[in-house]
Amino acid sequence: MRNVRLQPFSLLALAFFSVFMLLLSESFALAQSPVGGGMDGAGSDQSRTPFRIKLSGFLNTKPEEGSKVLKLGINSFGETYQFELVKAEAVDDTQIGEAAILQQVGKYGVDFDLIGPRELLSKVGQAEPGSPLAIVGFFTQRNRKLQLESVEIIGLEAQ
């Protein structure tokens, strides 16, 4: 039997091919992972994909100890509002829980930066202290922006 010697170039090509196949198989396995394998889902704190949420609670109250308190900011007004949270929910995706929505709360000076039509921003800005609000909008985790879709003062119906 004859000894076959591989040329240095062939060895290098074989090594690169092996590494490429290994990386390809790893990335395929991660993509198939049910947890997302490092991929950014809508609930990830680095996600750029907006998803619809609803925040229910009271604006500018003196919250009881142990209450969840959020800071809502409106840059165009130069104001920050305290919001005592009762419930946070993803409107269209039941897989996203309250913990995913609130994962960045307390890490920054403003938890939710409210943006949108001036009339909706004004409803928040002009609400009386203690007003029960339901705020619905598209939330982007990465920059903590909440694009307002509706702001409702709970208990007050249009007549």
Q: How does pLDDT run across 73-85, given as a tens digit for each residue? A: 999 999 999 999 9
Total tally of structural domains belonging to the chain: 2
Residue 139 lies in a domain: yes
pLDDT of 159 reads: 40
| Higher-scoring residue by pLDDT: 10, 69 | 69
Residue 44 lies in a domain: no
Q: Are residues 30 and 85 in the same domain?
A: no
Q: Are residues 103 and 66 in the same domain?
A: yes
pLDDT of 66 reads: 85
Instruction: Provide the residue range defining the domain that includes 35.
Output: 1-39
Residue 159 lies in a domain: no
Q: Are residues 71 and 30 in the same domain?
A: no
Share of the chain above pLDDT 90, in %: 56
pLDDT of 62 reads: 83
| Averaged pLDDT for residues 103-114 | 94
Q: Are residues 64 and 111 in the same domain?
A: yes
Q: What's the burial of 50, exposed, middle or buried (CB within 10 Å: 0-12/13-18/19+)?
A: middle
pLDDT of 94 reads: 87
List of residues 6+ apart from 70 with CB closer than 8 A: 55, 57, 82, 83, 85, 102, 105, 111, 112
